[in-house]
Chain A
Amino acid sequence: MSEPARRPPAHAPVVRPAPFRLSSGSDRVFQLVILGLASVIVLIFVLSVYQLGRESWPALRASGLRFFTERTWNPVTGTFGAATMILGTLVTSLAALLISVPLAVASALFVAEYAPKWLANPVGYLIELLAAVPSVVYGLWALFVIAPVLARWQTTFFNPELYPERFALFTRCSALWAENQTSLQCLFVPNSAAGRGLALAIIILTVMILPYTASVARDVIRLVPTDQREAMYALGATKWEVISRAILPYARAGILGGVLLALGRALGETLAVAMVIGDSQEVLKSIWGNASTMASVIANQFGDAQEALHRSSVVALGLSLFFLSVVVNFLARLIIARLTPKGIQ
């Protein structure tokens, strides 16, 4: 991750025009070539929006705003509503974020504040390597290693028939909803599909987005001025008091940026999730149940979509995902680039 505050201001390396320019013609050609190649970036963005917009237009015209509120996604009847996938994306991403942020910040504190140098460097390396592991490899590992564990766990610990007392609290809390299968106890109803489902997707997403938050957090924690720490140590504060009252409040904005960056990753994460989430369009009932996310539906269905409306609806999911992740990433970068230096100074 970059270290925004150390970067010189945007206008630093301005090359002042030399007074005696001998070959301004060739300079102009060079500038045009560079500009032309750089505008490919603009072109890619414009083409992406155009392409996704054009292909998803039939679906959006057919369903209108109901595309985002309708819960049924059924290629056979031609009903396409993305509500459950949007919900699936948000639930998996936010849950993964919730679990990973404390862990990531803690590991960043360990690397930046606690560990001696001989340990800090290797641990930092390992966390960066965690970001380099490809999505499919995470998916493979989750399928072959974690899924069997979860499956065994569900049939023992979380089996309401074998252990009704473990669900007594939930049952009492929600006795009113128990009949229509949406009570809280249903949150833990086991799933027969070999451990795949929402919970596994959340676990694997948590691991995948950890390094993004961790490395941004580590960078901003290192940027907290030493005075800040020393002043509090001089007052007799303990290490934890220094961290919780001087370092974390200072690094807050930067860490938030890292969290949003991780959220952006989680929203668009595809294959690992597609492999483990179970690919089902049913409304989320149990955390062990099958579900789907926008990205997993694109991966699983785009290749097989024969019908024009089906294909167009899948692309419409892609368009929504595109805008969602652009907004989240943009906010993240804005915060990392602007807020951090201001908070530090």
Chain B
Amino acid sequence: MSAVSRGTPARPRARLSPARRFQNRLMGALIALATALVVAPLILIFVYLLREGLGAMNLDFFTKTPAPEGETGGGLLNAITGSLTMLAMASVIGVLVGVAGGIFLAEFPRHPLMPTVRMLSDVLAGIPAIVMGLVAYGLIVLYFGFSGIAGALALGFLMIPIVVRTTEEVLKLVPLAVREAGLSLGLPQWVVILRIVLPAAAGGIVTGVMLALARVAGEAAPLLFTAFGNPNVNLDPTQPMSALPLEIYRGATSAYDENQRLAKAGALLLILIIFATSLLARRASRRR
């Protein structure tokens, strides 16, 4: 290095020794190769699921429940309705607590409880989903049995930290002057927050909620012993419910070809939904 800095480089390219040039090229090539390796699994998975799952995605897939073990035909209607029901219930918990937590962290930063809430929401983000399933089991299933509510509770708990974090960040992007303008008009703080600050940040909050939904829509681990699964279409949240990731898990580990086929089609449907949701969310957040 020092040798280079002493002279005045008239033609810097020519001063590059072959060894250094080779090293530079080699590392560049290795980095490109590593990136290709990182991206490859995604493409391989997607192509595999398209090839294997697309054929099984017929009308029956969306309108029937799985056929009994060993028989052919059937679909995943029970899983689709179960996933939708539980995600709807989970987002009530996730949005209510998550947005409130975000407002609390962003708008009351001097509150004595604020550091605790911030730390614990970070801690919640790190709890493995399966452990959240154990918790929901102990809180609900132990007393009321397997149910969609228990599953939705576990998923809602998993949504909270994601919603808290994104809400807090977008609320902090709303200029302080907006709040001061509202307050200077004599509006109480709650009106300023609910009617001015929240609408200004609504796009970002919706993005956060969508990302959280995309994240928990694929979780099967916390549902194993909360929602438990159900071979029939069930819309009663106090009863066991199925979900797409649960059926994928059961089908993939099943010995029957027919169940495996449904699992692959289910996996294709699930990642299509998740990719669409996260791309939409990201597109929306980038446009602002």
User: Interface on A for B, CB 8 Å cutoff?
Assistant: 2, 7-8, 10-16, 18, 20-24, 26-27, 29-31, 33-35, 37-42, 44-45, 47-48, 51-52, 54-55, 102-104, 106-107, 109-111, 114-115, 123, 125-130, 132-141, 143-145, 207, 210, 214, 235-241, 243-244, 264, 267-271, 275, 295, 298-299, 302-303, 315, 318, 321-322, 325-326, 328-330, 332-333
Set of chain B residues within 8 Å of A238, measured between Cβ atoms: 16, 20-21, 23-24
B246, chain A: closest CB distance, angstroms? 8
Q: Is the CB of B48 within 8 A of A41?
A: no
Residues B218 and A236 in contact, CB atoms below 8 Å apart: no
9 closest residue pairs by CB, A with B: A134-B218, A268-B128, A329-B126, A37-B100, A30-B190, A106-B34, A38-B104, A238-B24, A51-B138
With A38-B100, A135-B219, A295-B128 known to touch, is A15 a contact of B39 (CB < 8 Å)? no
With A13-B179, A137-B248 given, can you name 4 additional A-B contacts, CB distance below 8 Å?
Answer: A15-B107, A103-B34, A127-B39, A144-B260
Cβ B252 vs Cβ A143 within 8 A: yes
B2 to chain A: closest residue by CB: A235
Q: How far is the CB of B138 from chain A (nearest CB, A)?
A: 4
List, sorted by A's number, 11 A–B pairs whose CB atoms are closer than 8 Å.
A7-B172, A13-B176, A34-B103, A38-B103, A133-B271, A133-B274, A135-B245, A141-B48, A298-B131, A326-B123, A330-B126
**Complex interface residues of chain B between 42 and 74 (CB less than 8 A to chain A):** 42-45, 48-49, 52
A52 to B72, CA, bound (A): 42
Given that A37-B101, A126-B42 are contacting pairs, would A13 and B183 also be in contact in the complex, using a CB cutoff of 8 Å? no
Complex Cα spacing A129 to B39, Å: 10
For residue A143, which residues in chain B have a CB less than 8 angstroms away from its CB?
Answer: 252-253
The answer to whether B4 and A41 have CB atoms under 8 Å apart is no
Cβ B245 vs Cβ A210 within 8 A: no
Contact A325–B48 (Cβ < 8 Å):
no
Chain B residues near A325: list those with CB within 8 A.
126-128, 131
Chain A residue contacts of B113, Cβ below 8 A: 35, 38-39, 42
Are B134 and A315 in contact, with the CB atoms below 8 A? yes
- Contact: A126 with B39, CB < 8 Å? yes
Q: Size range of the interface on B?
A: 35 or more
Q: Is the interface of A mostly helix, strand, loop or mixed?
A: helix
Find chain A residues with CB under 8 A from B221 CB.
135, 270-271, 295, 299
Given the contacts A10-B109, A127-B39, A140-B263, A329 and B4 also touching, CB distance less than 8 Å: no
Query: A268 touching B129 by the CB < 8 A rule?
Result: yes
Give the Cβ gap from B90 to chain A, nearest Cβ, in Å: 13
Q: Please determine whether B34 and A267 come into contact, CB atoms closer than 8 angstroms.
A: no
Of A16, A48, A138, which is within 8 A of B127 by CB?
A48
Give the Cβ gap from A207 to chain B, nearest Cβ, in Å. 5
> Any chain A CB within 8 A of the CB of B135?
yes
Contacts of A27 in B (CB 8 A): 188-190
Q: Name the CB-closest residue of A to B97.
A: A40
Enumerate chain B residues within 8 angstroms of A106, measured Cβ to Cβ: 30-31, 34-35, 38
- The answer to whether A303 and B224 have CB atoms under 8 Å apart is yes
**CB-CB under 8 A for A333 and B190, given A15-B107, A238-B23:** no
- The answer to whether the Cβ of B193 comes within 8 Å of any Cβ in the partner chain is yes
Q: A residues within 8 A CB of B44?
A: 141, 145
